[in-house]
Amino acid sequence: MNGYFDYNATTPLHPAARDAWLRASEKHWHNPSSLYRDAGLTSQQLESARERLGDLIGAEAERIVFTSGATESNNALFASLPADALVVISAIEHPSVREAVRGRNAVELPVNASGVVEVEELKQLITSKRPALVSVMAANNESGALQPWRELAALCREHGVLFHTDAAQWLGKLDAADLGDCDYITGSAHKFGGNKGCGFLVLPKEDSRLGFIRGGPQENGRRAGTENYPAIEAMVTALEAITPRLSEIQHTQSKLRDGFITEMRARFEPLRVISESAPRLWNTVLMVMPEHDNLKWLTRLSRRGFSISTGSACSSGKEGSSVVVTALGASAEELKRVVRISGGWETTEADWQALAASFVEVFEELNRGGKPQ
């Protein structure tokens, strides 16, 4: 049994990514900026990985800057904007966007009762406030709710406004072939079977303002520091390995996830599933349990071999800090009962059933008021 249900926090290394990382580390460990032959070969490999990533996400390779992950990409983008630029971010952005715009001239775009941004709301904001840039994530990390980024990007283009999407949760779970239609895209390798500490930011071709990490002239002068070619190779290989399987995985995994919700509903009443009526990532369930604090659920499930989360990993540990459930106007008491389950590409029906059965066991234990077994 695989009891890991926290894939939105991070994922294990994909076997193909592991092989690619080892091969690259052994053969192409040279500094791609050095001038001898072996370094040149590493540089060629790096540029070929950039091309391959560009093909997967529908963006020209020269638009891609490799970074240390989504947090850096988001921070780098906002740091590159003029100090007085007005930015719009959705109310459910990841802390790495929310914190990056702190102190800036920023307006929050609300979400509807399903936790989704409405195109019409953005249209009004654009017409009344004329922002320089709009940032709306592609898929939410807590609820899995998909945001209408294609429509939002088109609307922004029509009005001459730049559009950024944090696609950290979309990439590797849904087809990304037309993400390149967005002006800026954030991605993170460890969310889809790559290494931690590796990611990218896609920029418009002509944008050379990025100077968040300063030093050498790497990445066309846009991000200093020796490129982590082995991790980049592993990231691209993971995405190449998963992409052809995505529609089949989406089909089978969403059924298993929905079966889990049905099972839970039969046992727990009332069970509130956040964004249940919205299109969501096939692996995610964010729910408000009818009783008991989320940390009690989490620790007891953990003892039984299941890894789940309270809200998002970036805010867990801080009880009641779900960005999404807060944006939906939940009470402080409800916030303490939020749990997030996120399965993976290979999660089986038996894994989901075992998790549901464990929820029932934990519930009985908590109701008995007894000590954990």
Q: Is the Cβ–Cβ distance between 176 and 186 less than 8 Å?
A: no
137 binds ligand PMP (CB under 6 A): yes
Nearer to ligand PMP, 180 or 311 (CB): 311
E strands, the chain, where?
64-67, 87-90, 106-109, 133-135, 162-166, 184-188, 199-202, 272-273, 284-288, 338-342
Nearer to ligand PMP, 168 or 298 (CB): 168
Q: Which residue type, as a one-letter code, is found at position 148?
A: P
Site string (150-189) toward ligand PMP, x via CB under 6 A: ----------------x-xx------------------x-
Q: Which residue type, as a one-letter code, is found at position 52?
A: R
69 binds ligand PMP (CB under 6 A): yes
* 182 belongs to the catalytic site: no
213 binds ligand PMP (CB under 6 A): no
On the question of a cis peptide bond just before residue 270, with omega within 30 degrees of 0, the verdict is: yes
- By CB under 6 A, name the one of 180, 193, 199, 311 that touches ligand PMP: 199
Contacts of 185 (CB under 8 A, 6+ apart): 57, 59, 164, 165, 167, 179, 200, 201, 202
- By CB under 6 A, name the one of 154, 314, 354, 360 that touches ligand PMP: 314
Count of residues near ligand PMP by CB under 6 A: 15
96 binds ligand PMP (CB under 6 A): yes
- By CB under 6 A, name the one of 13, 64, 70, 101 that touches ligand PMP: 70
Site string (230-269) toward ligand PMP, x via CB under 6 A: ----------------------------------------
User: Which residue's CB comes closest to ligand PMP?
Assistant: 69
How many whole angstroms from its chain centre is CA 225? 24
Encode 56-73: b = buried (16+ Cβ within 10 Å), e = exposed. bbbbeeebbbbbbbbbbb
Bridge partners (DSSP) listed for residue 191: none
Question: Which of 156, 182, 198, 314 is an active site residue?
Answer: 314
Q: Which residue type, as a one-letter code, is found at position 103?
A: G
Residues identified as active-site: 314
The contact set with ligand PMP (CB under 6 A) reads: 69-71, 94, 96, 137, 141, 166, 168-169, 188, 199, 312-314
